[in-house]
Amino acid sequence: MTTLTYAWRAARVTPLGELYTPPRITAALLRLTVQVVLVASLWHGLYAQTGTTAGLSRDQAVTFAVLAVLASRLRELDQYAGRDSVAQHMYYGTIVYWYLRPLSPHRYYALRALGEQLYGLAWALGGYTVCLAAGVVVPPESASVAGVFALSLFLGQWVLHYVMLLIDQLCFWTLRNTAALLILIFAQNLMSGVYAPLWYFPHWFLTLSSFLPFQATLNVPLSLYVGRIPLSEAGFQLGVQAGWLVALRFLTRFLWRRAARRVVSQGG
């Protein structure tokens, strides 16, 4: 019971912070709208002279791109405004308080991330409904595609959580790494398919991606949605996602322990 109450408290920190700052919500709304319009028109424009390319038709490509914009909204908040990122806690020396509470830092972090992702999900769902109604995106082909997509998106978001956590955990070792972080975030965006579906990329790039966790976060669920990955291959892809989940879980757990050791030996 008490676990539930503190879980609820920690999870709602981000949404609450946003709600206390209405300009941020207006900004997010404006940004999401403009981004969807721009991305949709760009892909329409790119397909003007081309038929199906890389196995993606125009509608599939536009749907993929718009869904990618909506999905990246799930974890794309103004995190720095809340001063509750690992990087900032390290910078301001307030990370010590994470280690002074009867709540382990990794659990606190996970709860915060969960709240953030659920809040983002509300946005993404709202945006999806509007886009679907406006005909910007096409609906999934069948109920089973929708179901597999939902499951895959869930796993993908979980993997994404670990990827973001890894980036944050890096801050325990390298304080001045904002540029490195930007590059990692760029890699995440590029290799997960936020900028463009991975299907357009050369074969070697796809092979490289298949050895990295990034494509499991977005490219797999969105490809399932638009039908670029047929249902018959879905089982394998879900398995790969689950595999990444397990591997990253162990890695991040290990890094939390190392981070704690580091804080304990350096004093935060």
Tell me which of 122, 142, 173, 230 binds other proteins, using CB under 8 A: 173
250 touches other proteins by CB under 8 A: no
268 touches other proteins by CB under 8 A: yes
CA distance 81 to 86: 13
Of 37 and 134, which CB lies nearer to other proteins in the complex structure?
A: 37
Tell me which of 33, 183, 236, 254 binds other proteins, using CB under 8 A: 183
24 touches other proteins by CB under 8 A: yes
**Distance between terminal CA atoms of the chain?**
32
CB of 199 to other proteins, least distance (A): 9
Pick from 179, 183, 178, 180: nearest CA to 85: 178
Q: Which of residues 51-70 bind other proteins (CB under 8 A)?
A: 53-54
49 touches other proteins by CB under 8 A: yes
CB 85 within 8 A of CB 79: yes
233 touches other proteins by CB under 8 A: no
Tell me which of 70, 191, 226, 248 binds other proteins, using CB under 8 A: 191
Burial 137-155 (b: 16+ CB within 10 A, else e): bbebeeeebeebbeebbeb
Q: With CB under 8 A, what is the number of residues at the site for other proteins? A: 71
Tell me which of 25, 29, 33, 83 binds other proteins, using CB under 8 A: 83
Q: Per CB under 8 A, which region of 40-48, 113-121, 133-141, 151-159 contacts other proteins?
A: 40-48
Of 79 and 117, which CB lies nearer to other proteins in the complex structure?
A: 79
Tell me which of 25, 29, 96, 247 binds other proteins, using CB under 8 A: 96
Of 48 and 246, which CB lies nearer to other proteins in the complex structure?
A: 48
Which residue type does 258 have?
R
Of 46 and 150, which CB lies nearer to other proteins in the complex structure?
A: 46
CB 195 within 8 A of CB 218: no
Q: Per CB under 8 A, which region of 129-137, 150-158, 175-183, 215-223 contacts other proteins?
A: 175-183
CA distance 133 to 139: 10
Burial class from Cβ neighbours inside 10 Å (0-12, 13-18, 19+) for residue 63 reads buried
163 touches other proteins by CB under 8 A: no
Pick from 192, 170, 198, 161: nearest CA to 74: 161
Tell me which of 25, 99, 250, 258 binds other proteins, using CB under 8 A: 99
Half-sphere exposure of 113 (CA within 13 A, CB side): 19
Q: Which of residues 121-160 bind other proteins (CB under 8 A)?
A: none
CA distance 159 to 170: 17
6 touches other proteins by CB under 8 A: yes
Sequence-separated (6 or more) residues with CB below 8 Å from residue 261:
none
